[in-house]
Structure 1
Amino acid sequence: MRPGLIIILLLVLLSTCVEPFEPEDPGFKSVLVVDGFISNSAEPYTITLSRTAPLSSPGALPEAGAAVSVADEEGGVYLFGETAPGVYQSDPRVFVGHVGAGYQLNIVTASGEQYQSDTVPLKQSPPIDSVYYERELRLTDVEGEVNDGISIFVDAHDSTGQTRFYRYDYTETYEVKLTYPGEWVYDPSQDANVIRNPKLGLCYATHPGGNILVANTSSYAEDRVKKLEVTYVSTGGYKLSGLYSILVKQYALSEPSYRYWYELQKTSESLGTLFDPQPYEIRGNIRKVNDPETAVLGYFDAGAVSEKMLFVDKVTLLGMDIQYPTDPCIARLGYPPTAVEFGLYQQWGYLITAVEPYVMIPAECGDCRYHGTLEKPSFWPR
């Protein structure tokens, strides 16, 4: 046998003997994670309960079957029903928060453990003055490569000077416009095989922002948030391919609440969210009733919400000479490929033309439903 062939056989045998390595975590202890917020809006409020999971687990474990309630300072108790494992919601017909009132979260798990939060005030939030954008070029992780796009900012102030501590989050909604939408779809279950669906070129996608953003004006003479960056949106991808919107929400925080969110912001900037592993324990305002030293992650908070929406149109951006990269589908294909081979129907399934020569396109490039939904949001202006 030739030496080269022997080496190849040895490598194959060795590769079949490799067992997956499962890292041990002898110090792991499951900890309750609580995420809850109530406001003065007449809508369901959500309390999310989960347990931390070991490193080998794909994510947090829902804490199902708990009894969850919120009590006010006047003795009222409002129950939250479990709508999904670990997700508990209030009934807005029964409970709506009021500015100036104090609220306390109470939890009894399915195993009988009792948890309770501090009483938190529901603070008023001043209006958001403006949400706006500016064009900005940013370096990427690839040496010498630059993204074009927009930075989105928020301005706000409280003329009474009573807020001082702010938190922001946002939700993005945008059109997904495809360069080569497929109008003919191969479907082997249909007698005709190729069926017409001309509505695959425009969809709508909605995503909540994932970063934690807080502001503190207590060291300033004026209670004003000025040009705080909410997010950066590049022209890569589909977000700025048509009409883009961002809904920015502002919450007024107490000082203890601000300290919690500020620490969480610092530690989660490189990790993700509250439910991701934390480098050290961040205590919130929730404790186990009969054992206050037991670790509990998360925070129960209350506050009025101010919000403002911004729309950005691609037509306006093009007027600012903003640059868009080559459509990734064009960059990948070079051009819409043509073929009559039956195999390409099965491999890609989407056609721009249904007469020979057939013009083919991969599903993710020809069907906007891979990136969003055909249903237009109720607030969409066009």
Structure 2
Amino acid sequence: MVRWGARLLFLGLAGCVESYLPAVIDAPNSYLVVDGFINGNGVTRIKLSRSINLAVGTTPPAETKATVYIVDDVGARYAVRETSTGFYKSDSVVLNPARQYQLRIATTGAKAASYESELVPLKVTPAIDKLDWAWQGDYVGIRLNTHDPQQQSRYYRWSFLETWEFTSAYESVLEYRGGIIQSRITPIHTCWRTEQNTIIKQGSTAQLAQDIVVNQPLLAISNRAERIKIRYSVLASQYAETAPEFAYNELLRKNTEAVGTVNDPLPTQLTGNVHRIDNASEPVLGFVSAHTVQYKRLFINRADLNLPGSWRFDSPYATCTTTIELAPDPSEPQPIYIPYTRVFATSDNVPIEYYVDNGMYLGYTGSSRACVDCRVRGVNAKPGYW
């Protein structure tokens, strides 16, 4: 499964004195990149794109209008249709674990060709027994337990989706609507932000007598992080892997996450399990596996952390300030009066409240949209699971 974008897999080394730029950086080839896996108990999602050379700073182009199928070893087919540019999605299906599966892809246009992944067994993933957290010094450590009583899993990979509640720097009770300042009807102070963590987290029990994973670390969160200030949730996904997939992802992890110092391993060329049918020598980037997925969600409330009430969290709003618009402003030759505005008639600025002095309404206070409107960083609709 590709996690590092559509880049060529032949990586150059940076010398200690001068950079070495191999010819492949300017290579004109554009190879197919296949990112995703065959989901045995849900929806299969596949991203298709094309590689670009390392000298190009643009986003890799999507591979569109392809025909994609999941095919098993007795010929049954399941369509994986393009739902947005370069993204393909199947119906939710439950696959037979006794069968083997592959992905077949037919591209169109100038680079029309047919590709297929190797037939692979459907790995049945055991349930996540426990997902919890514990203090690890100045960090909140998220950890996981699982086991396979059948002793068939042995190789595991985990991914996780983080969601947290946050508030903007200022709570606005006014909004510009219909050409005037009015009471706010659209809430923009409290939002929820969701991020898919992209690190490759794997573990193996192949060298152990029992197929048991205990307190497997998933991630560590600083005790100052904004994400744990109000309420935080993480959805862990667990996948049982084959030994070849585990080895592929481990090399991918070393190539993308452990490169940068003299003590890190050298970048390695990856060999996936997808090939072009009429030209097996053409590189295709990606490893298509097949497995069921197990999920478990954890919530952490601020009160659970037992931090002092005066505890200071890091904030992206640390530099935010407010401004005042007088209405009327005595210094203006053509003053405006409440409920009209000039400052907050633009989308860049948001009114917060009326500016009042000695009981007199003299104008408005406000700030930039980035400081007031939490939707700049998240969504104001509470998740259904919250």
Q: Could you tell me the TM-score, scaled by structure 2's length?
A: 0.78
Q: Which residue of 2 aligns with 1:165?
A: 155
Count matched residues. Answer: 335
Task: Within 5 Å, give how 1:1-382 maps onto structure 2.
Answer: 25-41=25-41, 43-54=42-53, 55-92=55-92, 95-110=93-108, 111-137=111-137, 148-186=138-176, 190-197=178-185, 199-236=187-224, 238-269=226-257, 279-319=267-307, 323-325=311-313, 327-329=315-317, 331-333=318-320, 336=322, 338=324, 340=326, 344-345=343-344, 346=346, 349-356=349-356, 358-380=364-386
**Closer/same/farther in 2, CA of residues 378 and 48 from structure 1, 3 Å limit:** same
* Separation in 2, partners of 1:343, 1:24: 55
**How far has the Cα of 1:322 moved from its partner?**
9.6
Q: Deviations over 1:291-347 (max 9, x none)?
A: 222111111111111111100001222447894336443x324x6555537665358
**Conserved? CA contact 1:68–1:80, under 8 Å:** yes
**How far has the Cα of 1:31 moved from its partner?**
1.3
**Conserved? CA contact 1:115–1:288, under 8 Å:** yes
Q: CA RMSD in A?
A: 2.7
2:180 partner amino acid? A
2:167 partner amino acid? K
* Separation in 1, partners of 2:121, 2:24: 43
Instruction: Indicate the larger mover: 339-348 or 252-261.
Output: 339-348
* Separation in 1, partners of 2:197, 2:225: 16
1:96 partner amino acid? V
**Closer/same/farther in 2, CA of residues 57 and 326 from structure 1, 3 Å limit:** closer
1:74 partner amino acid? V
**Conserved? CA contact 1:100–1:124, under 8 Å:** no
Gap runs ≥5 in structure 1 = 1-22, 138-147, 272-277
* Separation in 2, partners of 1:328, 1:34: 36
**Conserved? CA contact 1:81–1:88, under 8 Å:** yes
**How far has the Cα of 1:98 moved from its partner?**
2.4
**How far has the Cα of 1:48 moved from its partner?**
1.4
**How far has the Cα of 1:256 moved from its partner?**
0.8
**Closer/same/farther in 2, CA of residues 233 and 200 from structure 1, 3 Å limit:** same
Q: Deviations over 1:266-301 (max 9, x none)?
A: 112158xxxxxx944311111111222211111111
* Separation in 1, partners of 2:120, 2:310: 46
2:141 partner amino acid? S
Identity of aligned residues (%): 29
Q: Which residue of 2 aligns with 1:20?
A: none
Q: Could you tell me the TM-score, scaled by structure 1's length?
A: 0.79
1:361 partner amino acid? S
**How far has the Cα of 1:191 moved from its partner?**
2.8
Q: Which residue of 2 aligns with 1:4?
A: none
Classify the secondary structure of the residue corresponding to 2:244: helix
**Conserved? CA contact 2:229–2:313, under 8 Å:** no
**Conserved? CA contact 1:135–1:322, under 8 Å:** no
**Conserved? CA contact 1:38–1:97, under 8 Å:** no
**How far has the Cα of 1:228 moved from its partner?**
2.1
Q: Deviations over 1:108-139 (max 9, x none)?
A: 211431211111111111111211112245xx
Gap runs ≥5 in structure 2 = 1-22, 260-265, 330-340, 358-363
Q: Deviations over 1:44-67 (max 9, x none)?
A: 311211101133242221111222
Q: Which residue of 1 aligns with 2:337?
A: none
Classify the secondary structure of the residue corresponding to 1:307: strand
**Conserved? CA contact 1:164–1:217, under 8 Å:** yes
